[in-house]
Structure 1
Amino acid sequence: MTDTVKQSEVNDAIWAACDTFRGVVDAGSYKDYILVALFLKYVTDVWNDHRAAYAREFADLPEDQRDIRIERRMRNERFQLPVIEIKDEAGAVVDRFRASFDSLKARKDRANIGELFNIVLEHIEDANKKKLDGVFRNIDFNSESNLGKPKDRARRLRHLIDDFSKPALDLRPSRVSEDVIGEAYIYLISKFASDAGKKAGEFYTPSAVSALLARLAAPGPGQTVCDPACGSGSLLIRAAEQVPADGTGRRDVALFGQEVNGQTWALARMNMFLHGADAADIRWCDTLNDPQLIAQDGALSTFDVVVANPPFSLDKWGADAAPDDQFKRYWRADGAIPPKSKGDYAFITHMIEIARRRAGRVAVVVPHGVLFRAGAEGKIREALIRENLLDAVIGLPANMFTTTGIPVAILVFDRRREQGGPLEDRSDVLFIDASREFEPGKTVNVMTEAHANRIIETFASREAQERYSHLATLEEIAENDFNLNIPRYVDTFEAEEEIDVAGVQKEIAGIEAELDAVRAKMAACLKELGVDA
C-alpha cells in the first residue's frame, strides 16, 4: 500500500463537499447525504481497485478466461455492486450500469439524478442484505423537502458528485488506508455535531470523552463490548481501539450496540464498515422498552464491557411498564423505579444487568443530578453502593458537550467486586474531581490527552491526591446519606492568601500623602492662572 495521503487532506476535502448543502439544508439532515455519499464512494473505489488488481493478475489469460476469473474473485468482495437494468414501460432495457458512484458520475447531468441515486442504493442494499438491510431506507436523494425542487435538486447532487470526484477523495485501498477513511467519517460526525448544536446529542459523544470512557473500561483481547445507546457508534470504535491489533491490523474484540433512532443506527452501521468492524452487531431498537440483544435462553445477552453516553434525564422512558419488565432490570431498592421524567437510572441498571456477573465492567456518562437526587433515585443509588458495585465517580469539566453546558460525571461499576468476584474485598469508592482539568476552546472546553492521562493514572493507582482525588469508605458514604456529590469527598477549597493589614494600611497612608501633594500642586497652578479653586 502506498498510503501517502494525510488525514487532514481527506478531512478537508470531504468537509468542503458540505458547501453544497450549507444554508439550504440543516446539518441534522445534510449529514446523511454526505455520509452516505462517502460510503458509496468508498465501496466503489475498493471495488475498482480490487478489480484492477485481478485484471493485472490474470493479464496473460485469454480475454474470456480472464473475465471469468475476475468475476469469480469479485463475488468474494465485502460488498457486492450489482448490475442494474432500467426498463421502459414495454419492458425494454433502456439503460444498463453497475450500482456504483462511477455510474452516477457518468449520469450526473440527468434531470432524474436523485432518483438514480436511490436506485443505486436500493440495489446495493438488496445485494448485501445481511450487512446493509435497512441502512439506506431513511435516506431519499430525490426528496423535494430536503433538497429542493427538481432543477435545484439536480444541481446540488451534481455538485456533490463533482466534490467526491476530486483527486483528494480517491479512496482506493492502494492509496488510502482504511484507518484514514474511518477517521474521516468520525471527523465528519463531530463537525456535524458542532453545526447541529443541541440536536447532535443523539448521535455523537465528544472524542475526548469517548476515548476516556474506553480507557476506563479497558476491554481486552477476546472480550465483548456493548453500547446500549450507541448513537453513531464512535464510542464502540474507541473501545475497540483499546485492544491491540494483530499483524493484519484486526482486533480480537466483538462489538454490540443498540440505537433507537433509525437514521442514527444507519450511521453506526456505516461507521462500523468504514472501520473494518463488519461483524459488529448493531440493533435498531428501544433499549429500555424492547431490547434486541437477547441470548438463546431468552435472557438479556451479557458482555465483558458496557459503555454508554445515554440521553440525559430522558423523559417518558417507559416507567409505567418498568415494574413488569420481563428482564427484571429494575428490581433494586424494594421495587424503586426511576422517575418517569428521568431515565438516567433506567439506563444505569440496564447496563449493570447486561455486564457479566462477577466479571463485567460498566462506564457511563451521567448528569450530576444522578449523584445526589433523592426519592427513588436515592434508593437505587444506595442499593447499588451497598451491593458493592460502584467503583469510581469522576467529575468532568463543564461545557464539554455541544448539547449542554452542564458539568457531567462518569460512573464506573465493576461486577468483579460482587460476592464471589475477584475484587470482592474492594469496598471503597474512588472520587476524582477533574472539573478544572481542561483547555478553553472556541465553543466548548477541551480535555487534553494530559488531562485524560492523569485521570487514568489516578484511577489505576486509586491514590488520594490533594484537591483532586479521594478514596471513600462505605461508612463515609453512608454518613453522607449515600450522596455522591463530589465536593463532599474531594475538598477543592483553596485558602485565600493572607492579607497583611498593617502593610495595606501603610500603603494607603502613602497613597493619601501623594494625593495631598498632587492636590496642593494643582491648587498652586490654578492660583497662578487666576482661577479660584
Structure 2
Amino acid sequence: MTNYTRTPISGGPAPEIGQAAELSSRLWSIANDLRGNMDASKFKDYILSLIFYRYLSELAKNRAETELLSSSGLSYEEMFQRQPALIRDWSLAHIGCVLEPCHLFSSMIDRIRDGVFSVRDLERAVAAIASSAKSPEAQAAFEGIFDSLNLNDLELGREEAQRNHLISAVLEKIDGIPFSAENASVDVLGTAYMILIGLFASDAGKKGGEFFTPTQFSRLCARLVCLGLGTISSACDPAMGSASMLLEIIRETGGTGVGHFYGQEKNGTTYNLARMNMIIHGIPCGQFSFYHGDTIARDHFDQLKFTVQVANPPYSQKWSADPSYLADPRFSDPGRLAPKSYEDFAFLQHMIYHMEENGRAAVLLPHGVLFRGGAEAAIRAHIVGKLNVVDAVIGLPSGCFHSTPIPVCCLVLAKNRRHPDSILFVDASRSFIPGKKMNTISDGHIDRIVGACETWTEQEKFCRPVPLSQVAANGYSLNISRYVDTAEAKPPVDLAQVQQDLARHRARCAELEKQVNEQLARLGL
C-alpha cells in the first residue's frame, strides 16, 4: 500500500464547520462580482476551476520545497531557474504535471498587483499545465480538466480589458480564502460546489445536490465498508460525483493507503471536480482511474472486482430498461430488470457484480427499494435469498440531503458475511441534529450506527438482527418498521377509573341539564 505524502483529511466537525462558513462568505463575495455577467450554472465552473488552480499551484510548490529543496535553502522559483530539469522530473513523478514559476497562481496575483495581468496569461498557464502531463495516467488525470474555464467567453466582458478586470477581482478573492493545500479538513471543491448552488437557484443548480453527498453521510458509508478490514486493495464509487465518498475512505484508512481508486461519473463538470479533488488531496495520478460516462449504460470497469464500494446514486431515476440488458452479466441472474421508472436496483446490481470475494459495499438509496413490488421484489428476493449479500439495512433521517427532503436508507452489502443467517436492521431515523435548511448527523450518531453493525446485538427501538428465515417469510421485504419496533408504549388503561370518571361526568351533565330546564321554565319556555 502507498503511504500518501499529504496528511489525510483530519479534524472533527468544528474545523469543518468553520472552514465551510468561511468559504461560504468568500464565495458569496466572488459570486457577487460575477452576478449579472453570466448564468450561475456557468460561473460556478469558473470559480471551481480557479480554486483548483490555486490549490494545484500551492501543492506543487510546497511539496517540492519540503521534499526536494529543504536542504538547499532555495525556493521553488530559484531552483527552477537554476535546475529546471530537476524540478520538471520531480513534478512529473510526484504531481503528474509541471508548473513553471510563471504559471503559478501566485505569479498571476503578482501580475495583478503590478497592473500587467491579462486573461491571456492565465489561459497560457492552465493550457501549459494540462499539456505538461506525460504519462498515460497523468494525461488521463489532467486531460480537459480546465475545459470549463473559457476565458474568452464574451459573458465575462466584450472587451479584453473588461475580462481582465473581472477575472483579476475573482483571482484576488480566491487568493484571500484562508485555506492551505496541505491542511484542508473539508472537501473544499465539493463544499464550494454546493455553496454556489445554494447561492443561486438556477435551473442547472437545482439538481446539483445529486452530485455531492454531505460529509457525514460519506463518512458513515466509508466507516461501514472499512469496518474490520486491514488492507484495501481497491475502492470504487460508480456514481462518484465530486469523489467526496472516496475522500472519506482515505480519512478512514488513516492515510495508510488504498491500492487503487476507481470511479465513474455521468456529469462532465463533476467528473472534472472528482479528478481535481484527488489531485488536491495528494493522490498520485497512477493511483486513481476515473471515467466519464453513464455507469449503467457503459460499464468502464468491465471485469474488475473491488474490495470496497460506496455510492450515492441518483434516486429513482428513469432508465431505458431495454431487454438487451438481460444479456449483461450485471443484471441477467434474476431474469427481471429494474423497472423503467426506477433505476435504483440497476445500481445495486452493478455494485454486487463488482464485489470481490470478500468485498463490501455501502450504498445510499430511497426507502422504496426496501419494499416496492413487481420486478423489484423479484430482484430483491434474488439478492437477499439467493446471493445473501445484504448485511445491514439502515434507516436514516429525513431532510439531510440536498437532492431530496425524503429519508434515505443505507444498504450494507458483503460477501462471505460474518453473520450469514441474519440481517441487521437499524432505525436511525430519529438520530439527527435539526438545522434551518437541512438536518445532519453527528459523529456520535455515526459511532452508534457503526457500533451496532460491529456488535450485532439488539438495542431496543434502534436495531435488531433478524433471522434470514423471518425475512424470507415476509416475502423478502426489507421494510425496517417490520423488524424494529420504535412505537412508544402506551400507558395501561385503568378501566375501573374510566367507569368512575364516566359516571361522574354523566351526573354532572344531568345536573346541568336540570338547571337549564329550570331556567327555561321560569321564562315560560
- Please indicate the TM-score interval, normalised by the length of the shorter structure: 0.7 to 0.9
What SS does the aligned partner of 1:446 have?
Answer: coil
Q: Distance in 2 between matches of 1:331 and 1:201?
A: 31
> In the alignment, which residue of structure 1 is the partner of 2:42?
29
What SS does the aligned partner of 1:304 have?
Answer: strand
Q: Report the more deviating stretch, 267-276 or 474-483.
A: 474-483
1:198–1:404 Cα contact (<8 Å) kept: no
> In the alignment, which residue of structure 1 is the partner of 2:364?
365
Q: Per-residue displacement from partner, 1:36-62 (whole Å, max 9, x unpaired)?
A: 2122112323444467677785579xx
Name which of 310, 313, 317 aligns with 1:314.
317
Q: CA deviation at 1:432?
A: 0.7
Q: Distance in 1 between matches of 2:441 and 2:73?
A: 54
The sequence identity of aligned pairs, in percent, is: 31
What SS does the aligned partner of 2:401 have?
Answer: coil
Name which of 307, 323, 326 aligns with 2:326.
323
1:192–1:200 Cα contact (<8 Å) kept: no
Q: CA deviation at 1:487?
A: 0.9
Return closer, same or farther for 1:506/1:104 CA change in 2, 3 Å cut-off. Answer: farther
> In the alignment, which residue of structure 1 is the partner of 2:424?
430
Q: Distance in 2 between matches of 1:507 and 1:439?
A: 46
Residue 418 of structure 2 corresponds to residue 404 of structure 1: no
Q: Spell out the pairing of 1:342-357 with structure 2 (5 A cutoff).
A: 342-357=342-357
Q: CA deviation at 1:193?
A: 5.2
> In the alignment, which residue of structure 2 is the partner of 1:469?
463
Q: CA deviation at 1:324?
A: 3.1
Return closer, same or farther for 1:484/1:47 CA change in 2, 3 Å cut-off. Answer: closer
> In the alignment, which residue of structure 2 is the partner of 1:121?
126
The TM-score, its normalising length taken from structure 1, stands at 0.78
Name which of 296, 302, 306 aligns with 1:303.
306
Q: Distance in 2 between matches of 1:9 and 1:439?
A: 19
> In the alignment, which residue of structure 2 is the partner of 1:332?
333
> In the alignment, which residue of structure 1 is the partner of 2:373?
374
Q: Spell out the pairing of 1:481-520 with structure 2 (5 A cutoff).
A: 481-498=475-492, 501=498
- Relative CO higher for 1 or 2, CA cutoff 8 Å, sep ≥ 6? 2
Letter of the 1:463 counterpart = T
Name which of 26, 33, 57 aligns with 1:44.
57
1:314–1:342 Cα contact (<8 Å) kept: yes
Letter of the 2:299 counterpart = P
Return closer, same or farther for 1:182/1:492 CA change in 2, 3 Å cut-off. Answer: closer
Q: CA deviation at 1:208?
A: 1.2
Q: Distance in 2 between matches of 1:339 and 1:407?
A: 22
1:81–1:98 Cα contact (<8 Å) kept: no
Q: Spell out the pairing of 1:243-282 with structure 2 (5 A cutoff).
A: 243-246=253-256, 251-278=257-284, 279-282=287-290
Return closer, same or farther for 1:66/1:383 CA change in 2, 3 Å cut-off. Answer: closer
Letter of the 2:255 counterpart = A
> In the alignment, which residue of structure 2 is the partner of 1:132?
142
2:108–2:122 Cα contact (<8 Å) kept: yes
Q: CA deviation at 1:149?
A: 4.1
Q: Distance in 2 between matches of 1:215 and 1:382?
A: 27
Letter of the 2:297 counterpart = N
Letter of the 1:393 counterpart = V
Return closer, same or farther for 1:511/1:179 CA change in 2, 3 Å cut-off. Answer: farther
Q: Distance in 2 between matches of 1:38 and 1:304?
A: 32
Residue 86 of structure 2 corresponds to residue 72 of structure 1: yes
Letter of the 1:434 counterpart = A
> In the alignment, which residue of structure 2 is the partner of 1:208?
216
Q: Spell out the pairing of 1:419-458 with structure 2 (5 A cutoff).
A: 423=418, 426-458=420-452
Q: Distance in 1 between matches of 2:436 and 2:20?
A: 23
Q: CA deviation at 1:470?
A: 2.0
1:81–1:127 Cα contact (<8 Å) kept: yes
Q: Distance in 2 between matches of 1:55 and 1:301?
A: 40
Q: Per-residue displacement from partner, 1:218-243 (whole Å, max 9, x unpaired)?
A: 15424311000100001001012211
Letter of the 2:252 counterpart = Q
Q: Per-residue displacement from partner, 1:71-101 (whole Å, max 9, x unpaired)?
A: 5234312254456xxxxxxxxxxxxx83232
Q: Per-residue displacement from partner, 1:375-399 (whole Å, max 9, x unpaired)?
A: 1111000011112111111100111
Q: CA deviation at 1:201?
A: 2.7
User: What CA RMSD, in Å, does the superposition of the two structures yield over aligned residues?
Assistant: 3.6
2:119–2:167 Cα contact (<8 Å) kept: yes
Task: List runs of 5+ in structure 2 lacking aligned partners.
Answer: 513-525
Task: List runs of 5+ in structure 1 lacking aligned partners.
Answer: 84-96, 295-299, 418-422, 516-533
2:46–2:148 Cα contact (<8 Å) kept: no
Name which of 427, 447, 453 aligns with 1:459.
453
2:232–2:307 Cα contact (<8 Å) kept: no
Residue 221 of structure 2 corresponds to residue 221 of structure 1: no
Q: CA deviation at 1:159?
A: 1.0
* Count of aligned positions: 474
Return closer, same or farther for 1:76/1:315 CA change in 2, 3 Å cut-off. Answer: same
1:429–1:473 Cα contact (<8 Å) kept: yes
Q: Distance in 2 between matches of 1:163 and 1:98?
A: 20
Q: Per-residue displacement from partner, 1:319-344 (whole Å, max 9, x unpaired)?
A: 3431232xx111122x1011122111
2:88–2:98 Cα contact (<8 Å) kept: no
Letter of the 1:29 counterpart = K
Q: CA deviation at 1:104?
A: 3.0
Letter of the 2:106 counterpart = D
